[in-house]
């Protein structure tokens, strides 16, 4: 455990004017309060708050934050009280400790409704003082560093919570180093075999190529010295999880993944950043589409840097980040840089973002959410997405999440523009509305009076703002029609279990589902935001049995009388997914998932499109879906995978190996399923298996109708 004088020395390194006596008092008080308490590892519990405080000194944070770290568990776990902490250490510290205590009690990985409400509370706590979440992140980082002492099931729960919530939050706050470490520590628990495999391959690569990082670093320094540019150059291998994520995104093996090394050049001035960029591009060939200038277009959390990828020594791709020292401080600390100290005064870094403004930006779009699920969707979209920068016809910049479409752009400009959108031009060329925008593209939206949002747009847009606006418009425009359809769906579903869809039954269901009333329930039922089986199950859970399956002949609503359908084998839609029917000569109606790439071929043939939806209620397990699974090449693994699928009451219809390596097998498994929830249950069970490196849905465009 770090001694109090050593902790004070860490603070004095950046804040010579620190109140050492107050830190000593907090250290002694915290140790006294936690006396007799021990961690699962057997260490005295107080080692944890001290370690959290030490982590925060790396961010050069103020005395109040350091003292809060020392006391952050006292109000919750000891006899200490808010009033006593306030009396001894001040109201500011007491409020921070109380805020951390409330965050600790939030179950962020609980059910979706409760999780959404707890996210609201998390953002409320953050809005009062962002230092609360800084302490909580440091607390989670130390817990993840010492997670081995926990029970295996607890380790997995904490690791998933960290990967899903705390790591993205750290990244959103600009604390990239913390995000990377939290991700890698979680990866070590969630998929240790994959992580160890990457590390083994790294070691093998180093044996074959030598110290590539040292060589490339020297190459860059030599080029900068020729031009007389004074700068520091650092190189590193990327974290195992970062490499694993790139392998997943690019569908490449480790041997084919080239940009696994990253380099930073820290300059003395902004002008030198662009001089360094010129030197690097003159010496090495730049990789097209891999250049981002976050100096001229900073991220919302204050991040500034130039990113470029070049073909370096021996043709290896390397990513180079170029920034000034002040930019680097913000890149390391993010929003936390606002509280950092240097020489006894708060550092006036010109690039540090005002936390109040940052939180206002982050929270702005959450206010439009009408229910828990929408709020949670907004939060995750904001936290998890990187940015792309697009331009209006007048040259103004519009920042959007990675993967955004022209529809997202339209709604970012104004809801009215989004609602009336009929088309888009990107760099002067007409493109489909589902086109994914890229950095630097100029976007022009085409509008028409009388145009209204389509239900299919919900599957095209990715921003919370666009989704909320589309849903609101659809509910207002089609509310009467949805209520009428919802009432009919409810009548059929209730009669199926021998009950009537009375006003009282519907009102009870609405109350249980936290909806405003019966009309809201019926509107959501008619718009397919709720299923009739969910409504019936809410009121009469004992009457909804697995055996009460819907006949295949009436599984799809919207077909003409006597008209049959076939499921498209390219996308294999299942009940619960949004679908559309396409008429094919000689084949009748073929149903596709709304996001099926094959629909691009018939985009302009609206006369062939048929508005369809799955019948509400339980379906038979006869909808075959192909799963692309990568498993460890070990004895008995395939048998365990088959057993897992069987335990989920799913039948394996076919199985084909498509790739074999010394480490892994890749196979396509055809599984017969009931609906999308059944699919998710099977995939979740497989993902939780340590021997499964990856599982995803397999879609084959060669099977287009």
- 4-190 CATH, one of 1.10.3210.10, 3.20.20.10, 3.30.70.890, 1.10.10.60: 1.10.3210.10
Q: Using alpha carbons, list the distances in angstroms from residue 412 to 384, 447, 457.
A: 18, 15, 15
Taking residues 261-276, report their average pLDDT.
93
Which top CATH class is 623-703? alpha beta
DSSP 619: B
- Whole-angstrom Cα distance, residue 627 to residue 670? 6
Query: So what's the pLDDT on residue 111?
Result: 46
How far, in Å, CA of 571 to CA of 203, rounded? 40
The maximal CA–CA distance of the chain, rounded, in angstroms, is: 86
Q: Which residues pair with 631 in a beta bridge?
A: 665, 692
- Quote the tokens at residue 13: 């390194």
pLDDT-wise least confident of 327-336, 338-347, 454-463 = 338-347
Planar angle of CA 560, 561, 564, nearest 5 degrees: 75
What does the DSSP 8-state code read for residue 531?
-
Structure tokens at 645: 């699928």
The span from the CA of 635 to the CA of 633, in Å, is 7
Q: Please give the helix or strand (H or E) that residue 312 lies within, else none.
A: none
Q: What is the pLDDT of residue 545?
A: 55
Of 252-266, 274-288, 498-512, the range with the lowest mean pLDDT is 252-266
Does the pLDDT value for residue 67 go beyond 70?
A: yes
Domain ranges of the chain: 4-190, 194-346, 623-703
Whole-angstrom CA distances from 149 to 88, 165, 517, 663 are 34, 22, 49, 29
Query: Which residue blocks in 545-675 are alpha helix, DSSP H?
Result: 637-647
Query: In the predicted model, is pLDDT for residue 108 greater than 60?
Result: no
Predicted local confidence at residue 204, as pLDDT = 77
Shortest CA distance to 625 belongs to which of 605, 641, 645? 645
Catalytic residues: 76-77
> CB of 618 within 8 A of CB of 642?
no
pLDDT score of 113: 46
Would you place residue 478 in the very low, low, confident or very high pLDDT band (cuts 50, 70, 90)? low
Polymer length in residues for the chain = 705
3-state helix, strand, coil in the chain (%, to 5): 50, 20, 30
User: What confidence score (pLDDT) does residue 425 get?
Assistant: 92
Q: What does DSSP assign to residue 514?
A: T
| Whole-number average pLDDT of the chain | 83
What is the spatial distance between Cα 554 and Cα 559, in angstroms, rounded to a whole number? Answer: 9
Q: What is the pLDDT of residue 291?
A: 86
Chain center to CA of 532: 30
CA atoms within 13 A on the CB side of 126: 24
Sequence-distant (6+) residues with CB within 8 A of 517 are: 507, 510
Q: Given the DSSP bridges, would you call strands 565-567 and 588-593 parallel, antiparallel or unpaired?
A: parallel
Q: C-alpha distances in angstroms, 690 versus 112, 153, 198, 414, 698?
A: 25, 12, 15, 46, 21
N-terminal to C-terminal alpha carbon distance within the chain: 67
Task: Identify the bridge partners of residue 679 per DSSP, sorted by sequence position.
Answer: none
Reading the block at residue 360, the tokens are: 């206002």
User: Rounded distance, CA 106 to CA 119, Å?
Assistant: 8
pLDDT at 177: 87
Please work out, in degrees rounded to the nearest 5, the angle formed at the alpha carbon of residue 116 by the alpha carbons of 112 and 117: 120
Q: Give the model confidence (pLDDT) of 113-125 as tens digits.
A: 445 555 555 666 6
For 77-105, the pLDDT digits (tens) are: 888 899 999 999 999 999 899 888 877 76
Residue 30 tokens read as 């915290």
Q: What is the mean pLDDT of residues 209-221?
A: 85
SS3 of residue 346 by DSSP: strand
pLDDT of the residue at 110: 47
Q: How far is CA 442 from CA 375, 427, 433, in A?
A: 30, 5, 14
- At 634-683, the pLDDT tens digits run 878 888 888 888 888 888 887 888 887 777 888 899 999 988 889 988 99
Q: Please tell me the predicted confidence (pLDDT) of residue 55.
A: 94
Helices (H) and strands (E) in the chain, counts: 27, 22
- Name residues whose C-beta falls within 8 Å of residue 261's C-beta, 6 or more positions apart in sequence: 212, 213, 216, 235, 236, 237, 238, 316, 318, 319
Mean pLDDT of 549-563: 76
Q: Is the pLDDT of residue 381 over 60?
A: no
Distance between CA atoms of residues 513 and 535, nearest Å: 8
**Is it the case that residue 126 has pLDDT exceeding 70?**
no
Structure confidence at residue 546 (pLDDT)? 47
Tell me the DSSP string of 561-584: TT--EEE-TTT---TTS-EEEEEE
Instruction: Indicate if the pLDDT at residue 202 is higher than 70.
Output: yes
Taking residues 227-250, report their average pLDDT: 83
Q: Which fold has domain 194-346?
A: Beta Polymerase; domain 2 (3.30.460)
Q: With pLDDT > 70 as the criterion, what percentage of the chain qualifies?
A: 87
**HSE of 482, CA atoms in CB hemisphere, 13 A:** 24
């Amino acid at each position: 455990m770090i001694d109090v004088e050593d902790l004070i020395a860490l603070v004095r390194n950046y804040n010579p004017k620190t109140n050492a006596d107050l830190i000593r008092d907090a250290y002694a008080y915290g140790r006294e309060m936690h006396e007799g308490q021990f961690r699962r590892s057997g260490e005295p519990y107080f080692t944890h708050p001290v370690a959290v405080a030490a982590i925060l000194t790396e961010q050069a944070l103020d005395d109040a934050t350091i003292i809060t770290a020392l006391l952050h568990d006292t109000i919750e776990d000891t006899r200490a009280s808010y009033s006593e902490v306030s009396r001894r250490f001040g109201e500011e510290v007491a409020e921070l400790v109380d805020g951390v205590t409330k965050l600790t009690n939030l179950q962020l990985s609980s059910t979706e409704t409760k999780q959404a409400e707890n996210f609201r509370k998390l953002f409320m706590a953050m809005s009062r003082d962002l230092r609360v979440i800084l302490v909580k992140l440091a607390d989670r980082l130390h817990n993840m560093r010492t997670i081995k002492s926990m029970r295996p099931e607890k380790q997995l729960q904490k690791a998933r919570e960290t990967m899903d919530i705390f790591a993205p939050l750290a990244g959103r706050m600009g604390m990239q180093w913390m995000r990377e470490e939290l991700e890698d520590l979680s990866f070590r628990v969630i998929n240790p075999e994959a992580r160890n495999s990457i590390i083994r391959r790294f070691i093998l690569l180093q044996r074959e190529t030598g110290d590539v990082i040292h060589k490339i670093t020297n190459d860059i320094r030599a080029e900068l010295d020729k031009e007389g540019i004074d700068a520091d150059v650092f190189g590193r291998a990327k974290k195992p999880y970062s490499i694993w994520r790139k392998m997943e995104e690019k569908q490449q093996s480790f041997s084919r993944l080239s940009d696994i090394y990253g380099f930073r050049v820290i300059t003395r001035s902004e002008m030198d950043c662009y001089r360094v960029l010129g030197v690097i591009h003159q010496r090495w060939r730049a990789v097209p589409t891999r250049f981002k200038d976050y100096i001229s277009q900073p991220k919302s959390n204050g991040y500034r840097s130039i990113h470029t990828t070049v073909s370096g020594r021996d043709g290896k791709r390397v990513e180079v980040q170029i920034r000034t020292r002040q930019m680097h401080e913000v890149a390391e600390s993010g929003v936390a840089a606002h509280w950092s100290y240097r020489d006894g005064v708060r550092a006036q870094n010109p690039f540090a973002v005002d936390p109040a403004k940052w939180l206002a930006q982050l929270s702005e779009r959450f206010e439009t959410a009408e229910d828990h699920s929408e709020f949670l969707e907004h939060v995750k979209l904001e936290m998890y997405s990187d940015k792309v920068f697009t331009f209006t016809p007048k040259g103004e910049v519009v920042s959007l999440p990675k993967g955004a479409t022209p529809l997202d752009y339209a709604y970012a400009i104004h809801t009215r523009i989004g609602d009336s959108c009929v088309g888009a031009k990107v760099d002067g060329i007409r493109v489909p509305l589902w086109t994914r925008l890229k950095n630097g593209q100029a976007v022009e939206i085409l509008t028409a009076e009388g145009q209204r949002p389509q239900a299919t747009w919900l599957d095209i847009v990715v921003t919370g703002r666009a989704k909320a606006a589309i849903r609101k418009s659809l509910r207002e425009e089609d509310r009467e029609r949805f209520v009428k359809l919802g009432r009919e769906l409810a009548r059929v579903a209730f009669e199926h279990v021998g009950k009537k869809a009375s006003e009282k039954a519907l009102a009870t269901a609405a109350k249980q589902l936290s909806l405003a009333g019966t009309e809201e329930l019926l509107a959501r039922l008619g718009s397919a935001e709720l299923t009739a089986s969910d409504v019936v199950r809410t009121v009469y859970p004992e009457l909804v049995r697995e055996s009460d399956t819907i006949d295949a002949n009436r599984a799809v609503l919207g077909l003409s009388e006597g008209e049959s359908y076939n499921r498209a084998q390219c996308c294999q839609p299942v009940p619960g997914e949004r679908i559309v029917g396409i008429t094919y000569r000689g084949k009748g109606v073929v149903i596709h998932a709304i996001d099926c790439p094959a629909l691009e071929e018939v985009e302009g043939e609206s006369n062939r499109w048929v508005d369809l939806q799955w019948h509400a209620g339980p379906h038979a397990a006869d909808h075959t879906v192909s799963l692309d699974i990568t498993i460890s090449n070990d004895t008995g693994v395939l048998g365990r995978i088959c057993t897992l699928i069987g335990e989920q009451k799913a039948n394996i219809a076919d199985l084909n190996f498509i790739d074999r390596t010394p480490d892994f097998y890749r196979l396509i498994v055809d599984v017969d399923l009931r609906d999308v929830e059944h699919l998710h249950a099977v995939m979740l069970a497989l993902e939780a298996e340590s021997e499964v490196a990856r599982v995803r849905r397999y879609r084959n465009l060669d099977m287009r109708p």
